[in-house]
Each structure stands twice: as C-alpha cells, then as structure tokens.
Amino acid sequence: MRRRAWISMAAVWAALLAPPALAQEAPSTTGAPLTAADVLASVERAWPVLAQARQGVDEARGALLATQGAFDLKAKSTVSRMDGYYDNTRTYSVLEQPLATLGIDLYAGYRSGQGSFAVYDSKAETLSGGEWLTGLRLPLLQDRAIDPRRADRQTASLDVTRAEQDLEKARLSAYKQALAAYWDWVAAGRQYQVARDLLALAEARDQQLADAAQLGQLAPVERTDNLRAILQRRSALVSAERLVQLRAIDLSLFLRRPDGTPIRPAADQLPPLPSTADGVASTEQALIDIARSRRPELRSVQAKREQQDVALRLAQNQRLAALDLFGETWQGTGDGSVTRQGQNSQVGVTFSLPLQRRKAIGKARQVEAKLATLQLEWQWVAEQISADVQDALSAVEAARASLALLQQEVAVAVELEGLERDRFELGDSTQFLVNLRELATADARLREVRARADYQKALVSLEASTGQLLDRRAPQP
C-alpha cells in the first residue's frame, strides 16, 4: 500500500511539475526592440486626439483666411436707365482695393452718364466717351492705426496661435502618457522575466531533491516544500504574464499602424531597462525659466492677452472722431460740355463724432476688465507650472535615490541567497530557508525593475513639466 501511495504521489508531482500552458505573444516582424522614439513617432503619425487638435488648427487658419478677404480686390459695377422727362443712362464700374496700411481705400474705374439730366443731377453727366477715374480715402484719426478689418485679422491670427498651442498641449500630454505606458510595459516584461527565472530555479533542482530523498540523503519534506514553491511561483508567473498583457494593451492605445489601428507590442520587442540614474544637471530655477518659456499653456494665455490688447486698441480707436481725407481725379473722353473736358480733381474731408461715445467707452472698460482677469490667469498658470517643475524634479531625485538603494539591496540579497544555498548543501539549512532567500532576492529584483521604470517615468514627467519633451518630436515624412 505504501508503495502504491508513493507511486500515486509521484504521479501527482509529475502532473504538478508539468510546465504551465502560458499564452505566447506573436513575434514581431522585425525582431528589433521597440524604442521610445518608435512610440512617439506612432503617436505623432496616428493618435486620434492629435488629429483632432490638428483639425482645430486648420479651422483657425481657415478663419484667418476669411478675415483676409476684407482686403480682397473688389469689382463693382452699376448700370441704370431712367425713362421719362429726363431720359438718361448711367454706368459706374470700379475696382476697389482696401489696404492694411493706414486704413487706406483705393479705387479706380470708369463712369458714364449719357442723356438729359436735371440741374441738381448734372454732375452725373459725362462726355460721350465717359470718364476714367481714380481716388482714395485716407482716415486721419479714427481707423488710421487700427480698424475693424485689421482688428479681425489680428484676432484671427492670434486664434491660430492659440490653436497651435492647444495642439502642442495635446502633443505634450500624449507624449507623456505614451512614454509612461511604454515604460510600464517594459517594466512588466522585465518583471515577468524575473518571475520566470525564479520558477526555473525551483524546477531545476526538483529532480536533484527527488534523487536525494530517494537515497535517504534528504528528508522527503524538503522536496515537498520545493513543490510548494514551484506552485507558488507558477501562480506568480501567471500574474506576471497577465500584467504584461495588460501593459501591452495600454501601450497599444498609442502604438498604431499608419492607418490608425492599435497594435500590441510583441514579446521579442522588449528592450532593456536603463540601469544608470544620473542626476539632473540644471538647477530648479533654470528649469522653471525654461518651462515658462516653453509650456503651451502660458503661450496660449499670452495669445489671449494679445487679443484683448487688439480689442482695447480698437475700442480706443472708436472713441476718436472720424476725420477722413478723400481725393478723386478723373479724365473725360469724347465730346460734350466744356466743363467736363480735360483732367479734373476733387479733394476734401469728412467729419463725424458721436458726442457721448458710450459704446466705445463701455467697450474699452469691458476689455480692460478682461485684461486684468487674464493677468491673474497668467500668474496662476505660471505658478502651476513652477509647482509642476518642482514636483517633477523632486520625483526624479527620489526615484534616483530609491533605485540606488534597491541596487544595493539586490546585491546583498544575492549574496545571502548564495550563502544560504551553500549552507543547505552542507546540511546546515533547509529548503524552506533557501526558498525564502530566493523570494527575497526576486522581490528585490522586482522592485529594482519597478524603480528603474519609475525613474524613466520621472524623467519624462520632468521633461513634460518644462516643455522639453516636445523636442523629441520626430519629423514626419
């Protein structure tokens, strides 16, 4: 009966010691390690959120083009016929060109008035060949420095700047999220390898323990404890594989084919984790200064302030009197009244002024209030950016210190594991203690892997906080 029980137990052990059926990743087509630059290139090429932000830029540029239409060359033509006591035909055709310079409007064209005209309308009469004319309007006060057309164009141009900064903000966030997902995937892959190596240790010595127990050199309980360790480590390996799959799925949100389809990285694309952790060379204040000059949030607020500056100048312009200089010269052709012969010209001014000007005054006060609000917003955003840099820098230093300590811990754990294994071979220890030492080493290695990834993520956060992460953008073909 005891022999049958031993055979039955051996069968159970054989079944339990069989290699676990773990799902395998499909190998990559290239076999080359996946790099952070590859991930960022994928984000730049096919991440949907960036595509949406680019559409916002295109929309703003379209609006800017629409405002430039106020300065388009325009063709105008009027033809009229009067029948009755006064029988005449009138034609007026000109090209008008508004200029951004000083708000000038230029025009040139042709007019003709043929037939009989009333005395009060005699200026509409021309020679038989009509008149060629040119003229201009030059504002001297209101609309000279700025007018609604130029204000609209400047505001639309700043809208483009704001849309571009929104794109940069989206890009900065995408890069940070993508690299965090990337380093989490790398860490999970390396932790899986630690778990796999830990299981391999227990499986490799199982036959040795079985032979020693059969010869009576070792108590059977030692092999039984090793069996328990194998089962525990297989369970841990399954959990580690699940974590790798989860991190690969997370990374696939950023890693995409050219058509935008998400792809999961393959196991053979796993790169090594950097083992070095150099300190940050720049000072905190230098990093804050860089951040305030690079972060798109502050640039966007600055663009909004400049838009309100435009609105304020326009409101102040509207408080001025409208004093416009106009001039026109024309040359008649053909036969007719001697008074219309030769070249003629006319110069004059027009003047108007709303006496109360409440609309312009109220608009100016409204814009001044908005500018004060934007100044507070700029200050708050600048303070938040400074805090981001300080927090990121602190995280880098903490991650570097933690990694240094864990590297020392791993070295000590490996030494203790080796000593405990030597004691076991000499009969001064137990498999249970050897297992504890191996677990302690594996735990230290797992935490070291996590610390290496956390250090890389902390560096990414620091680059994001200063805006320098945008420098990693790869040119697109």
Q: Give residue 475's region: left, alpha or beta (phi > 0; psi -120 to 50).
A: beta
Q: What is the DSSP string of 78-92?
A: EEEEE-SSS-EEEEE
Contact in structure between 137 and 325 (CB atoms under 8 Å)? yes
Alpha-carbon distance of 337 to 329, in angstroms, equals 18
Tokens of 234: 């297989």
Residue 26 pLDDT: 40
Alpha-carbon distance of 437 to 314, in angstroms, equals 77
**In the chain, what is the straight-line distance between the N-terminal and C-terminal CA atoms, in Å?**
77
Q: Strand pairing partners for 98?
A: 105
Residue 430 pLDDT: 86
Q: What is the DSSP string of 26-75?
A: PPPSS-PPP-HHHHHHHHHHH-HHHHHHHHHHHHHHHHHHHHHGGGS-EE
Instruction: Give the chain's residues under pLDDT 70.
Output: 1-31, 474-477
**Span 41-66+150-309+367-472 CATH architecture:** Up-down Bundle (1.20)
Alpha-carbon distance of 236 to 390, in angstroms, equals 38
**H helix or E strand, kind and range, residue 197:** helix 148-214
pTM score, two decimals?
A: 0.82
Alpha-carbon distance of 191 to 170, in angstroms, equals 31
pLDDT per residue as tens digits for the range 120-163: 888 888 888 889 999 999 999 999 999 999 999 999 999 999 99
Tokens of 388: 């981001």
Which DSSP category does 18 fall into?
A: S
Residue 162 pLDDT: 95
Cα separations (Å) of 181 from 176, 178, 224, 277, 385? 9, 5, 40, 20, 23
Contact in structure between 313 and 155 (CB atoms under 8 Å)? no
Tokens of 460: 């990414």
The domains of the chain are located at 41-66+150-309+367-472, 75-140+324-356
Which DSSP category does 149 fall into?
A: H
Question: Parallel, antiparallel, or unpaired: how do β-strands 105-115 and 88-98 relate?
Answer: antiparallel
pLDDT per residue as tens digits for the range 427-463: 888 888 988 999 999 999 999 999 999 999 999 999 9
Residue 66 pLDDT: 95
